[in-house]
Chains A and B, each alone.
Chain A
Amino acid sequence: QQPVQSPQAVILREGEDAVINCSSSKALYSVHWYRQKHGEAPVFLMILLKGGEQKGHEKISASFNEKKQQSSLYLTASQLSYSGTYFCGTVTMEYGNKLVFGAGTILRVKS
Chain B
Amino acid sequence: DGGITQSPKYLFRKEGQNVTLSCEQNLNHDAMYWYRQDPGQGLRLIYYSQIVNDFQKGDIAEGYSVSREKKESFPLTVTSAQKNPTAFYLCASSISFGARGYTFGSGTRLTVV
A interface residues with partner B (beta carbon < 8 Å): 2, 29-30, 32, 34, 39-44, 46-47, 49, 87, 89, 91, 97-104
Using a CB–CB cutoff of 8 Å, the interface residues on chain B facing chain A are 33, 35, 40-45, 48, 58, 90, 97-107
B103 lies within 8 A of A87 (CB): no
Q: Enumerate 22 A-B pairs (CB-CB under 8 Å) in ascending A order.
A: A29-B99, A32-B102, A34-B102, A40-B106, A41-B90, A41-B104, A41-B107, A42-B102, A44-B101, A44-B103, A44-B104, A46-B101, A87-B42, A89-B102, A91-B98, A97-B98, A97-B99, A98-B45, A99-B45, A99-B102, A101-B44, A104-B40
A87 contacts across to B, CB distance below 8 A = 42-43
A30 to B100 CA separation, bound complex (whole angstroms): 9
| B100: chain A residues within 8 A (beta carbon) | 47
Chain A binding site: helix, strand, loop or mixed by DSSP? Answer: strand
Residue of A nearest to B58 (CB): A98
Across the interface, A103 reaches (CB within 8 A) one of B42, B101, B107, namely B42
CA of A101 to CA of B90 in the docked complex: distance in angstroms?
Answer: 13
Contact, CB under 8 Å: A101 / B98: no
C-alpha spacing A102/B42, complex, angstroms: 6
Query: How distant is the Cα of A40 from the Cα of B3 in the complex, in angstroms?
Result: 14
Contact of B45 among A41, A42, A100 (CB under 8 A): A100
A-B contact count (CB 8 A): 57
Q: Using Cβ atoms and an 8 Å threshold, which residues of chain B touch A89?
A: 43, 102
Which residues from chain B contact A104 at a C-beta distance below 8 Å?
40, 42
Are B48 and A101 in contact, with the CB atoms below 8 A? no
How far, in angstroms, from A40 to B90 measured CA to CA in the complex?
10
Partner of A32, one of B40, B58, B97, B101: B101
Interface centre among B41, B43, B48, B105, by most chain A C-beta atoms within 10 angstroms, is B43
| Nearest B residue (CB) for A85 | B42
* Bound complex: CA A111 to CA B3 (Å): 33
